[in-house]
Structures are given as C-alpha cells and as structure tokens.
Amino acid sequence: MEFFDNHKKLFGTAFGLFAGLTIVVAVLPAINNQRRNVPLMNAVPLSKEAAAGKDLFIANGCVACHTQQVRDVDMDKVWGSRPSIAADYALNTRLDFWRNTATLMGTERTGPDLSDVGNRQPSQAWNLLHLYQPRAIVEKSIMPAYPWLFKEVDSVQKGEVEVIVPDKYAKGIHGKIIATTDALNLVAYLQSLKQLPLPSGMPSPNFLYKKETKTNAAGTTSKLPDGASLYTTNCQSCHQPNGEGMKGAFPALKGSPIVNGDDLELYVNIIMNGYQVPRPEYATMPAVGTNANLSPEDVTAIINHEKTSWGNNAKTVTVDQVKKIMDNIKITPKN
C-alpha cells in the first residue's frame, strides 16, 4: 500500500495517533485537575521546618516504601478516617524550577502509609528514636536507620533534643546522641501529615469492598475481636510487644496500676483521648482510640488483652461496661 511505503505519512500517522491519545488521557485530565486544584478550607501550608523536612523526605527516597494515599477500599481504613480526595494534594505544587511536584502518593507499601501519621504517632521522642534506629523501637522493622541525621556530643546544650538510645543499640557511643536540625525538620514534616476533617456538608467518599461482618448463625452477640492483634496494630509501637514500654519515654503496661486497677473510666479515657503522664520525661499519648475509630468491642478486647498479658492478672471487663463509659465520653467534646 502506498500509505505504508511513505515514511512521512506512516510515521506522521503513528505519531499523531499517539500524541492525540496522550492529550486525551494525560495532558487534558492533568490540566483540568490542576485548574480545579483547590485545597480544603481548613488546610494550612507546611511550616518552614516541615517544608525543610519534606525536602529531606524526598531526597532520601522515603516514597520508595511509604505511600501517602488512603484508597477508597475498606482495607485502607487503618490508614485514615476517610479516603483521600484530590483536594488533599492541592497544596503540592512544583518544588522549584529543577524539581517536579512531589505529591508522594507512592506505589509501594513496604512500610506503613503516612497520610495520617501525624495523628497516629505524634510523639517527637518516638519519631526521633525510630529514625535513629527503627529496630530499637519496632523490633521487626526493616526500615533503614538514619544515624547521619544525628550527632554525638559530650553534653546536651539548652535547646538541643537528646535521643535516649537503648543499651542494645548504644554500643560504641560514648557521649550523648542529639538530633540535628535535619532530624527535627523531618519529624516536623511527619507530624504535619494529618488527614483533615471534611467541611460539614461535603460528602466523604465511601470505603468500598467492605469486609462482611461475621455474625454467627445463632444470632447471639459475636465474640470479641482479637485483642492481641489490635494491641499490635494500635499500641505495640510504643508500649512494646512485652508490655514494658521504653525506659524514659513510654510507660510500662506490665504491672501498671491503671491497667491492673479498677478505674475503668480513666483507662477507657486514656485509650480514647490520650494522656499526659504527670512526669516530664514521658511522651504525650495521642488519642489512639478516637484516631483509629475503635469500637467498644475493640477497646474491650484491648483492655482485656492488657489486663491478662505479661504477668498481669486483673479482672477482665465486659463490652457493656466499656460502652457505657464511651457513650459518656462522646458527650464531652474532645480537647
């Protein structure tokens, strides 16, 4: 055919087809999205520190293992209270003339999603130690350690933040470990990653592919969820698998008067709304229960797990007791 034997016509057509499709599936949708790129009303730009931290996050390729997107599927519920929407990424613009926009949505989840990590793990002490040596705080982690973001000094000056390294990882350290500005900025960025509540009236997309709730045939109330598993997901990274916490940072649950005592209202309140231990060296506990949207069944399972593990041997509680307290808590607004 004449058409196929004319290189100008042939290659011109192939190029035209490809370029046309490119415009339809990539260029126009991207431009369209960019034009309607409006952040949520309550969105705040990154602070100077957090912006510097984001640069470090990009430079070190953290996106290779950490996503920042809560998909609209039920299994992603653990990473945020609602699916991510386009407006969540609207504040991301080109970094500069040399570097592209970094929405950092990611394609691999070798490590946890970070969309809402600022709510889930706000503690600076936890984040710093975790950056210095992830395995010091999450034993099974395979995340790289970032010791070059820290400095060894003889004594800690005012304004410097010390990282207490557990003995196991402190070999060869003679002085004290302090965080550099880089480390503090990176943590500031992680702390800034919070899912914003949608303005009232704006519908949130639903989570799809919901797990079927298991009710047994007899119709009786189903058994409590697995407390050990919930503990691993929500509590373990601070209070540790052995319930002993971290010396000087996170209190032990083993032998704890609150866990083993009878003040259930205080106990439930701590899980739902967080806690400031009245000792300065301890980190503030975030509102784990509220953030993770734990149900009374979940909270009961966690409490009973903690009351009966690591040598603790206290009386377990029932869902009804916990539910009553949680209903009361809900009336009093947070903060």
Partner 1 sequence: MNNANIFSQSGILILLFLVAIPVVAAAIILIIKARAFTIRYLKRKEQEKFYMGLKNMSPEEVQQLEQRKKELEFSLSNNELSGNTMPSDTRGLVNNINHKEDLRFISSKKKGQQRPSIDPHLSKLILWFLGCSVFWLLLGTSVGEYLGIKFTAPDIDHFSWLSFGRLRPVHTNMVFWGWASLAMVGLCYYVVPRVSNVPINSIKKGYYTLYLMNASVIIGSIFLMAGINNGGGEYREYIWPVMGLFGLGIIISLINFLRTIAKRATKEIYVSNWYIIAAMMFLLTIAFVAYWPSWQNGLGETIVQGYYMHQGVGMWFMLLNLGLMYYFLPQQLNKPIYSYSLGILAFWTQILFYTLIGTHHFIFSAIPWWLQTVAIVGSAGMVIPVVAGTTNFLMTFNGSWKKLSTSYTLPFYLIGIIFYFVGSLQGTAEAFRFTNLIWHFTDFTVAHSHLTMYGIISFMLWAFFYTIVPRLTGKEPPHITVGAHFWLALIGLLFYTIPLMIGSTMRGLMWLDGKPFIDTVSFMAPFWLWRAIGGTLMWLSHILFAYNFYVMVKSREEFPIPTTPSEILKAKQALA
Using the minimum distance from each CB to partner 1, give the nearer residue, 269 or 300: 300
112 belongs to the binding site for partner 1 (CB under 8 A): yes
Using the minimum distance from each CB to partner 1, give the nearer residue, 92 or 260: 92
Applying CB under 8 A, which of residues 43, 45, 148, 330 lies at the interface with partner 1?
Answer: 148
Quote the least distance from Cβ 170 to partner 1, whole Å.
9
180 belongs to the binding site for partner 1 (CB under 8 A): no
Quote the least distance from Cβ 261 to partner 1, whole Å.
27
Quote the least distance from Cβ 97 to partner 1, whole Å.
6
| 283: CB partners within 8 A, 6+ apart | 123, 124, 125, 126, 238, 249, 250
Applying CB under 8 A, which of residues 47, 103, 242, 273 lies at the interface with partner 1?
Answer: 103
Residues in the chain: 335
Applying CB under 8 A, which of residues 40, 46, 47, 147 lies at the interface with partner 1?
Answer: 147
**Long-range contacts, 173-176 (Cβ 8 Å, 24+):** 176/152
Count, residues near partner 1 per rule CB under 8 A: 91
Using the minimum distance from each CB to partner 1, give the nearer residue, 241 or 274: 241
Distance separating alpha carbons of residues 209 and 187, to the nearest angstrom = 34
224 belongs to the binding site for partner 1 (CB under 8 A): no
- Binding positions for partner 1, 49-78, rule CB under 8 A: 58-65, 67, 69, 71-73, 75-76, 78
40 belongs to the binding site for partner 1 (CB under 8 A): no
242 belongs to the binding site for partner 1 (CB under 8 A): no
264 belongs to the binding site for partner 1 (CB under 8 A): no
Please state whether 85 falls in left (phi above 0), alpha (psi between -120 and 50) or beta: beta
- Closest residue by Cα to residue 54 from 64, 42, 63, 44: 63
Residue 320 has which token pair? Answer: 């009804």
Quote the least distance from Cβ 263 to partner 1, whole Å.
28
Quote the least distance from Cβ 279 to partner 1, whole Å.
28
Applying CB under 8 A, which of residues 42, 154, 159, 171 lies at the interface with partner 1?
Answer: 171
Q: From residue 269, how far is each of 254, 265, 311 by CA, in Å?
A: 19, 6, 24
Dihedral, CA atoms, 306, 308, 314, 319, nearest 10 degrees? 70
- Closest residue by Cα to residue 118 from 287, 329, 295, 299: 287
Asked whether 89 and 105 are in contact (CB, 8 A), the reply is yes
Distance separating alpha carbons of residues 177 and 131, to the nearest angstrom = 12
29 belongs to the binding site for partner 1 (CB under 8 A): yes
Distance separating alpha carbons of residues 289 and 302, to the nearest angstrom = 10
Quote the least distance from Cβ 331 to partner 1, whole Å.
29
| 318: CB partners within 8 A, 6+ apart | 300
Quote the least distance from Cβ 280 to partner 1, whole Å.
28
Asked whether 207 and 76 are in contact (CB, 8 A), the reply is yes
7 belongs to the binding site for partner 1 (CB under 8 A): yes
- Binding positions for partner 1, 127-146, rule CB under 8 A: 133-135, 138, 140-146
**DSSP state, residue 246:** B
37 belongs to the binding site for partner 1 (CB under 8 A): yes
